[in-house]
Amino acid sequence: MKSLCFGTTLRGFAAAALIAATALSATAERAAAGSPLRIASSLSDIPNLWAAPDGGFEGVRFGGYTIFDALVLWDLSSADRPSRLVPGLAESWSVDPADPKRWIFRLREARFHDGSPWNADAAIWNLDSVKNKDAPQFHPGRAGAAGSRTQSIAAYGKIDDRTIFIETKQVNGLLLYELSSLFFASPARFAEAGNDWNAFAQNPSGTGPYRFVSLKKGTELHLEANRDYWNPARVPKTQDLFVLPVPDANTRVAALRSGQVDLVDTLPPDAIPSLQAAGYTITENTYPHTWLWRLSFTEDSPFADIRVRKAANLAIDRAAIVEFLGGHATAAEGFAPPDAPWFGKPDFKLAYDPEAAKALLAEAGYGPDKPVEVKIVISSSGGGQMVPLSMNEIIQENLRAVGINVTYDVRDFTAMITMLRQGAKEAKANGINVAMTMQEPATGIVSYTSTLAPPAGSNWGFYNDPEFDAALKAVRAEFDPEAQERALARVNEALTNAAAALLVVHDKGPRALSPKLKGFVQARNWYQDFTTIEVAD
Amino acid sequence: MLFYIVRRVVYVIPIALAVSLVCFLLVHIAPGDPIDAMVQPDTPQEVIDRVRSEYGLDRPLPVQFGLWLAKLVQGDFGTSLIKGRPVLPDLVSASGATFVLACTGGLLGVLAGCILGGIAGVYRESWLDRVLLGTAVAGVSVPHYWLGMVMVIIFSVNLNLLPAMGSGPGGSTAWAWDWAHLRYLILPSVTLAVIPAGIVTRTVRGLVSDIISQDYITTLRGKGLRRAGIVRHVVLNAAPTVLAVVGLQLANLMGGSILVETVFAWPGTGMMLNTAIFQRDLPVLQATTLLLALFFVVLNLVVDLIQTAIDPRISRR
Amino acid sequence: MSTTFAPEVLGAAKAAARAGGQDTYWRGVGRRLLRDRVTLVCGAILVVMALLIVLAPLIAPYGPTDGSIARRLKPIGTPGYLLGTDELGRDMLSRLLYGGRFSWFVGITPVVLAFFIGGTIGIIAGFAGGKTNMAIMRVTDVFYAFPSVLLAVAVSGSLGAGILNAIMSLTIVFIPPIIRVAESVTTGVRNLDYAEAARATGAGARSIVLVHVLPNVLGPIFIYATSLVGVSMIIASGLSFLGLGIKPPDPEWGLMLNTLRTAIYSQPMIATLPGICIFLTSVCFNFVSDGLRTAMDVRA
């Protein structure tokens, strides 16, 4: 045992010396740095830094938007209005008037961190890396991770050095949303890394506001400001950024309170009052997220009857759930958050009215001696699931009060996602508690399309509503952002009026900041801009 | 005896094979499709099927096991489904972190156990013995992950003395035995030391009081041997058994630090395992379980050989 | 943390055999137990806890899932809520009483199952000897090659969360060490003089097992099993803590510890209560197990 210990120590020393040597030269090159910004994220590990991050939206927040850019980006500069798409690596775009499936993107002047130029060749090389199985830079796992971003793309090509085109399979007015998290990596660095994406991920190069410095697996990602960023307004105000993956919420809070980190993502509601009392800043904002039960509409499901769906929605005491969450959530009034630009005017009001719920159930043929029996798949944790166990316990009580008996099938998050994809028939359940993102209409509500019923797509409950299908088709046919929002409002109205889900709350994504931090703006978005933060010494 | 040793060493091979079969099957009885952890929920079926076949997950189980084993023998522990990179380097760095933690925790536990157990054994049946024994039982009975949480509240949050999580200061990429790193080791290793401390205390107490009450010690004492001499005798007689217990405890700590690593965000095999379970990252799960189990097998072997060496009377089949 | 006591229980079996008549032996054990105040007190605590848990529906002031957000996280001593309320406004006292049912069930059932399954297999292996013994013990070795927490986590992680899966994984964890103890004790007793003598007088295998082996080996195996209950409760609560154990809304101490963790800054005492319950139960089981071992081993 002794000799083993010694061996590891020796190896440790050697490694440390090596790293110290490289770190030293790196430090010499860097400008004199002030206090670093250290962020504890809820990720369980550093996302893959190969321009196709894993770890869902959190992964994109730290492993995508920091080092890399997409053709279009979310404008994260305002807390007061919903974020919208703005030009990123494409400085402008247009749709071919003759063929609405053909998009032309004009690329901006920019350079990768390694100095190589961003141009049409680099763009096509990147599209090949996820679309073209025969390209040497194609990697199946990486392509899988980017799969949902590229599924509507049929063809692409270079027009000139600064211009490319992308053709979609169908007319798709939502393409820009899909492209907002398809990231571009440096082909030069890939070649340097021996044409190996794994080696690339150990020393990545993109065009983003942060450059990669070092990576300690499972523990820490060190980035530094990219002083040559193409958008001078977004050159980071703090030289060094550390991202620490800390999956356990309590450990994150303890790390903040012991001064190990400066900013904490995804706070547990119960920790907030004591953090406020201790002088920490709490920021929060509505963002495009809906905590709901996706329901099954198959014949044997009680939820096939709209009266049962409406009754369930009227039975939920959302105010109590918001109170349980310490007020750090918004009660749902529809699929979209109430302040979303495409909320519209749904007729069905999500009030708390147990009597009306009982009346509806009686009308549907249920009653005290014949309660509704449903089985719901839930998870004990997971991105966007908030505090799933406790929240579902409240809902279980609420529903029992009106005569709906709920049994839960608790799975781990990934197993639940598998069941989501397999569909309600396979899952043998009447509902599934997978929170929905409303960030991109393209990834959330699209799953209610009738043609996407399993196994073809993610229409878990086999929802089939011609009115909704038509409304969504109208959205895809729109290219003007404002007209598209108006069309999306019809979609929200159609789904809400049909009570197509058990709608509960929208998360406000509370974060805690050390009093040393200034300048953070929490955008109404899953992604956040950390470049504006200044750290006082 | 030599024959026994050779046989015992050779016997590790079938055990290792069977252990790897168990590790392999363990992850395949699991519900949940590993591909779902890799892709966005709305990824079309054709993409998923393609990824599945790229990773060979559509082949029959025996074929998958054979391929996995063949690669293992060549030192290829597989490729993470989530990270898309080989498991081995990550596994090596994670086991390094766990090894540091387990060794320190084990050492602390053994030290505390030997001291407390030694005192208790010498003063057997006294009030001191009762108190120490009570402490030992309490140590074995406390949910240690919970103790860790309580210590974080006291020492990190309230007193601001020690870091609450992690394995080193920002910017450091490798473990080092300096104060900057050791600060991070204190809380998790003390938490981890509680159970072995309790177990070792009980073992040492029993051994010491047994040895002391035996005739030859009385004879030695009668011959006027000084206190130091008697202590030496006791230590020499107790050492082999204690070593065996310590070996087992260390192996248990390597495999059992998952809860403590989760509480302290310590980047070891426990964290890796926990993440892999919830992401259904089969290759990582298999490789980590296998490595820890093999470590346990080897340590068991060593312990067994030590025991045979010190006490040939133990009948061995 | 599971095998260190094997040599000691073998001692107990030999002691029982040496003492000759079963009656005298057990009377001695009883006498020694009555003198051991620590064991008696711990045993009494366990009996009281067991009664409280069994009678929970009669004693508990509220149902385990009755709650209102309006009165969440009330401190200990709030009128009507002796031990305060949890994060969903449910009465902690009632939750702890009902929770004990699950914690005890998940802690004890695997040990009982493993006692019967592992004990039977181990006795067969020890008594049969030869190839049978070899086959059984080699398979046992394979499962024995996993550290207990690792095996529990890996099996539960594979099967998914749930009370039955947790019990199953813990049973799998405890069977191999119990087989080992049972086998070594049985082998030890089988080779003792009186068993040889019985065999020499022409007693059949069955009667040897029933008359001589069983009474002498069950005690030691039982003692060993009781020492596992504390471990079992801690691992079970650890599984719930990781999200691999019991599912809500069933109250279980490990799960309560998990869901109350975030309240540790606002109501530290309440967040601590389930931990104290786990600790108290585990300590008492360990002391009782120690006391039994001492009482049944006449070496001292």
Please tell me if residue B159 touches chain A, with a CB cutoff of 8 Å.
no
Q: Which residues are within 8 A (CB) of B268 and not within 5 positions of it... i.e. 6 or more apart?
A: B94, B95, B97, B98, B101, B257, B261
- B238 with B157, same domain: the answer is yes
CB contact under 8 A, C261 and A250: yes
Provide φ and ψ at C257, rounded to 5°: -60, -40
* Per-residue pLDDT band at A54 (split at 50, 70, 90): confident
CB contact under 8 A, C238 and B143: yes
List the single residue in C with minimal CA-CA distance to A412. Answer: C160
Q: Which of A424-433, C80-89, C141-150, C207-216 has the highest mean pLDDT?
A: A424-433
How high does pLDDT run on average in chain C?
80
Closest CA to C217 of C39, C4, C79, C22: C22
Taking contacts as CB-CB distances below 8 angstroms, the residues of chain A near B163 are 255, 258, 260
List the single residue in A with minimal CA-CA distance to B93. Answer: A217
Residue B172's domain is classified under what CATH number?
A: 1.10.3720.10
Q: How many domains does chain B divide into?
A: 2
* Per-residue pLDDT band at A404 (split at 50, 70, 90): very high
**Chains B and C: how many Cβ contacts under 8 Å?**
142
CB contact under 8 A, C158 and B27: yes
Separation between Cα atoms, residue B296 and residue B69, nearest integer Å? 19
Q: Which of the listed residues B18, B49, B73 is the one where a domain comes to its end?
A: B73
- B50 with B103, same domain: the answer is no
CA of B10 to nearest chain C CA: how many angstroms apart? 13
Separation between Cα atoms, residue A204 and residue A189, nearest integer Å? 7
List the single residue in B with minimal CA-CA distance to C231. Answer: B141
Q: Which of the listed residues B12, B40, B73 is the one where a domain comes to its end?
A: B73
Separation between Cα atoms, residue A43 and residue B121, nearest integer Å? 49
For residue B257, what is the DSSP state? T
Separation between Cα atoms, residue A243 and residue A232, nearest integer Å? 23
Separation between Cα atoms, residue A5 and residue A26, nearest integer Å? 31
CA of C255 to nearest chain A CA: how many angstroms apart? 10
In the CATH scheme, what is the code of domain A289-507?
A: 3.10.105.10
pTM attached to this predicted model: 0.79
Closest CA to B254 of A158, A274, C3, C150: C150
Alpha-carbon distance values, B163 to B155, B157, B180, B258, C65 (Å): 8, 9, 10, 19, 37
* Per-residue pLDDT band at A405 (split at 50, 70, 90): very high
Where are chain A's structural domains? 13-67+208-285+510-535, 72-186, 289-507
CA of B265 to nearest chain C CA: how many angstroms apart? 13
Residue type, A226: N
pLDDT at A24: 41
Asked whether C121 and C180 are in contact (CB, 8 A), the reply is no
- Smallest Cβ–Cβ distance between B256 and the set C133, C149, C282 belongs to C149
List the single residue in B with minimal CA-CA distance to A44. Answer: B275
Which fold is adopted by the domain A13-67+208-285+510-535?
D-Maltodextrin-Binding Protein; domain 2 (3.40.190)
CA of C146 to nearest chain B CA: how many angstroms apart? 5
Provide φ and ψ at A169, rounded to 5°: -65, -45
- B250 with B120, same domain: the answer is yes
Asked whether A423 and A460 are in contact (CB, 8 A), the reply is yes
- Smallest Cβ–Cβ distance between A198 and the set B84, B164, B278 belongs to B84
**Pairing of β A263-264 and β A37-41:** parallel
B173 vs A326: which has the higher pLDDT: A326
Which token pair is A254? 């303890």
CB contact under 8 A, C147 and B252: yes
CB contact under 8 A, C265 and A253: yes
In the CATH scheme, what is the code of domain A72-186?
A: 3.90.76.10
CA of residue A497 relative to chain centroid, distance: 26
- B260 with B140, same domain: the answer is yes
Q: How many other CB atoms are there within 10 angstroms of residue C54's CB atom?
A: 14
pLDDT at A469: 92
Mean pLDDT of A377-392: 82
What is the per-residue pLDDT across A224-276, written as a single tens digit (0 to 9) for each? 999 999 999 999 999 999 999 887 788 888 889 888 899 998 888 888 888 89
- B69 with B166, same domain: the answer is no
User: Does C249 sit behind a cis peptide bond, omega within 30 degrees of 0 on the bond before it?
Assistant: yes
CA of A250 to nearest chain C CA: how many angstroms apart? 6
CB contact under 8 A, C278 and B146: yes
In the beta sheet, which residues pair with residue A293?
A502
Please report, in tens digits, the pLDDT of each residue of chain B (317 residues total): 678 788 878 888 888 888 888 888 877 776 666 666 666 656 667 777 777 777 677 778 888 888 888 888 888 888 877 777 788 888 888 888 888 898 899 889 989 998 998 888 888 878 888 889 888 888 888 888 888 888 888 888 888 888 888 777 765 667 777 787 888 899 999 999 998 898 888 888 888 887 777 766 677 777 766 667 777 777 777 777 777 777 777 877 877 788 888 888 888 888 888 888 777 777 888 888 888 888 888 887 887 777 777 665 544 44
Residue type, B262: T
Whether the CA torsion C213, B203, B259, B253 is positive or negative: it is negative
- B120 with B187, same domain: the answer is yes
Assigned domain for B83 exists? no
Q: How many other CB atoms are there within 10 angstroms of residue C114's CB atom?
A: 23
* Per-residue pLDDT band at A153 (split at 50, 70, 90): very high
Which residues, numbered 353 to 382 in chain A, qualify as contacts with chain C under a Cβ-Cβ cut-off of 8 Å? 380-381
- Smallest Cβ–Cβ distance between A415 and the set B31, B48, B84 belongs to B31
Assigned domain for B316 exists? no
Whether the CA torsion A52, A53, A54, A55 is positive or negative: it is negative
CB contact under 8 A, A144 and B93: no
List the single residue in C with minimal CA-CA distance to A321. Answer: C69
In the beta sheet, which residues pair with residue A94?
A104
> ipTM score of the complex?
0.79
Q: Which of the listed residues B46, B73, B100 is the one where a domain comes to its end?
A: B73
C3 burial level (CB within 10 Å; 0-12, 13-18, 19+): middle
- Smallest Cβ–Cβ distance between B38 and the set A38, A145, A216 belongs to A145
CB contact under 8 A, B164 and A258: yes
CB contact under 8 A, A140 and B31: no
Taking contacts as CB-CB distances below 8 angstroms, the residues of chain C near B143 are 234, 237-238, 241, 254, 257, 275, 278-279, 282
pLDDT at A437: 85
Range of the domain at B58: 2-73
Residue type, A9: T
List the single residue in B with minimal CA-CA distance to A49. Answer: B83
CB contact under 8 A, B277 and C244: yes
CB contact under 8 A, B249 and C279: no
Please tell me if residue B252 touches chain C, with a CB cutoff of 8 Å.
yes
- B232 with B269, same domain: the answer is yes
Q: Which residues of C touch A (CB under 8 A)?
A: 65, 67-70, 72-73, 87-88, 160-162, 243, 247-249, 259, 261-266
CA of B178 to nearest chain C CA: how many angstroms apart? 30
User: Which residue has 């998050």 as its token pair?
Assistant: A413
Q: Which residues are within 8 A (CB) of B208 and not within 5 positions of it... i.e. 6 or more apart?
A: B117, B118, B120, B121, B122, B234, B238
pLDDT at B140: 85
Separation between Cα atoms, residue A296 and residue A424, nearest integer Å? 6
CB contact under 8 A, A412 and C243: yes
Which token pair is A478? 């729109």
Please tell me if residue A452 touches chain C, with a CB cutoff of 8 Å.
no
Which residues, numbered 251 to 310 in chain A, qualify as contacts with chain C under a Cβ-Cβ cut-off of 8 Å? 253, 268-271, 273-275
Taking contacts as CB-CB distances below 8 angstroms, the residues of chain B near C139 are 18
Q: Which of A464-473, C30-39, C67-76 has the highest mean pLDDT?
A: A464-473
What is the per-residue pLDDT across A91-127, written as a single tens digit (0 to 9) for each? 999 999 899 999 999 999 999 999 999 999 999 999 9
Asked whether C286 and C4 are in contact (CB, 8 A), the reply is no
Domain C7-62+72-296 has CATH 1.10.3720.10: yes
- B11 with B141, same domain: the answer is no
pLDDT at B64: 83
Q: Which residues are within 8 A (CB) of B116 and not within 5 positions of it... i.e. 6 or more apart?
A: B132, B135, B136, B197, B201, B204, B205
Alpha-carbon distance values, C75 to C79, C87, C273 (Å): 10, 11, 12
Closest CA to C25 of C16, C34, C33: C16
pLDDT at A209: 97
- Smallest Cβ–Cβ distance between B42 and the set A36, A246, A447 belongs to A447
CA of A249 to nearest chain C CA: how many angstroms apart? 8
Q: Which helix (H) or strand (E) holds A279?
A: none
- B102 with B234, same domain: the answer is yes
* Secondary structure (DSSP) of B123-167: TTTSHHHHHHHHHHHHHHHS-HHHHHHHHIIIIIIIS--S-SS-S
Assigned domain for B286 exists? yes
Asked whether C188 and C213 are in contact (CB, 8 A), the reply is no
Assigned domain for B173 exists? yes
- B141 with B186, same domain: the answer is yes
What is the per-residue pLDDT across A1-43, written as a single tens digit (0 to 9) for each? 333 333 333 344 444 444 444 444 444 344 446 889 999 988 8
Separation between Cα atoms, residue C81 and residue C32, nearest integer Å? 42
**Pairing of β A372-379 and β A431-432:** parallel
- B269 with B235, same domain: the answer is yes
What is the per-residue pLDDT across B160-171, written as a single tens digit (0 to 9) for each? 888 888 777 765
**Chains A and B: how many Cβ contacts under 8 Å?**
203
Assigned domain for B81 exists? no
Percent of chain A, pLDDT > 90? 56
Taking contacts as CB-CB distances below 8 angstroms, the residues of chain C near B292 are 146-147, 150
CA of residue C6 relative to chain centroid, distance: 16
Taking contacts as CB-CB distances below 8 angstroms, the residues of chain B near A15 are 174
